Amino acid sequence: MPITSKELERLHTDEAIAARIAAQTNHSYVGDFVLGAVDGAIATVAIVSGVAGTQLEGGVVIAFVLGVANVLADGFSMAVSNFLKSRSDRQVVDRFRQMEEMHIDRIPDREREEIRQIFAAKGFSGEVLEEIVEVITHDRRQWVDTMLTEEWGLQLEGPVPWKAGLVTFSAFLLAGMVPLLPLLLYFSPAFSDGQIFIASAIATAATFFVTGLFRGRILQTSMLRSAWETLAVGGAAAALAYFVGVMLRGLIAA
């Protein structure tokens, strides 16, 4: 949907511009949450669908046990991976910061020349260029930060590693449990295994759809398109797992 002139003006008030620029220095954990939620739902529904496809006796119980084990183990694994990645990214920034600090101490003239060439490449020249170089190199912190972002293309403000891991694990656990909750209907004689698996599929589809809506809102794209895309990906994973289960059922029967 095209943005209106009124909305465009609202997004470019002095306050809105200042808030948007300030927000760039703070990491948003929304991406970590969406990634964990989508992966958690897909991983768990794949297990449930695969077991459903085999049509084994006691399949609901098997699916629940395997699903819970997967949510805890795979969720923890994903959280640790995100933690280590975030920590590694921070260590890279720290390493390059130390290197630039050393360069400024030992060859400050050459480091000023790097600043000069960086901004000359952006179209500045003459007195304006020299003033930019003077202002940036006058503040050592700003000098180093500029080198990190402009020369090395690094992002200065990344996520806090333990927060990134915790958000990912929480989202994985939350979304991953959705396909498993309907399996608790097994303890009610009013529901057959087939009905329970169908209820699980419906609950999971709803989770994919809602997660997709949330993803679209964050990315500021079509929420419905994002929802349908997420649902399609999750549905494809479930269908593939179910097909594998059917194939295994044939092998077991043979």
| Residue range 108-128, pLDDT digits in tens | 999 999 999 999 999 999 999
Interacting residues of 224 by C-beta distance below 8 A, sequence separation 6+: 213, 216
Mean pLDDT check: name the lowest of 10-24, 53-67, 173-187, 205-219.
10-24
Residue 10, CA atoms < 13 Å, CB-side half-sphere:
5
* 226 closest CA partner among 236, 211, 237: 211
Q: What is the mean pLDDT of residues 130-149?
A: 94
| 86 touches 164 (CB < 8 A) | yes
Per-residue confidence band for 228, with pLDDT thresholds at 50, 70 and 90? very high
Residue closest to 201 by CA, chosen among 230, 234, 227, 174: 234
Encode 136-168: b = buried (16+ Cβ within 10 Å), e = exposed: bbeeeeebbbbbbebeeebeeebbebeebbbbb
Give me the amino acid identity at 32.
D
Residue-level pLDDT at 53: 82
Q: Report d(CA 197, CA 12) in Å as an integer.
A: 50
Average pLDDT, the chain: 86
Q: Please tell me the number of Cα atoms within 13 Å of 224 on its side-chain side.
A: 1
Which structure tokens are listed for 73? 């183990």
pLDDT score, position 196: 87
Specify the pLDDT at position 115: 94
Radius of gyration, CA atoms only, the chain: 26
Sign of the C-alpha dihedral computed for residues 18, 21, 23 and 26 taken in this order: negative
Measured from the Cβ of residue 44, the count of other Cβ atoms closer than 10 Å reads: 29
Instruction: List, for residues 78-112, the tens digit of each pLDDT value.
Output: 999 999 999 999 999 999 999 999 999 999 999 99
Asked whether 25 and 157 are in contact (CB, 8 A), the reply is: yes
CB 60 within 8 Å of CB 48: no
Q: What is the mean pLDDT of residues 54-64?
A: 82
Share of the chain above pLDDT 90, in %: 40
What the block records as the tokens of 141 is: 């912190």
Nearest to 211 by CA among 190, 192, 228: 228
What per-residue confidence (pLDDT) applies to 133? 95
pLDDT value at residue 58: 79
Q: What is the number of other CB atoms lying within 10 angstroms of the CB of residue 172?
A: 30
Position 197 scores a pLDDT of: 87
Task: Inform me whether the pLDDT recorded for 167 exceeds 80.
Answer: yes
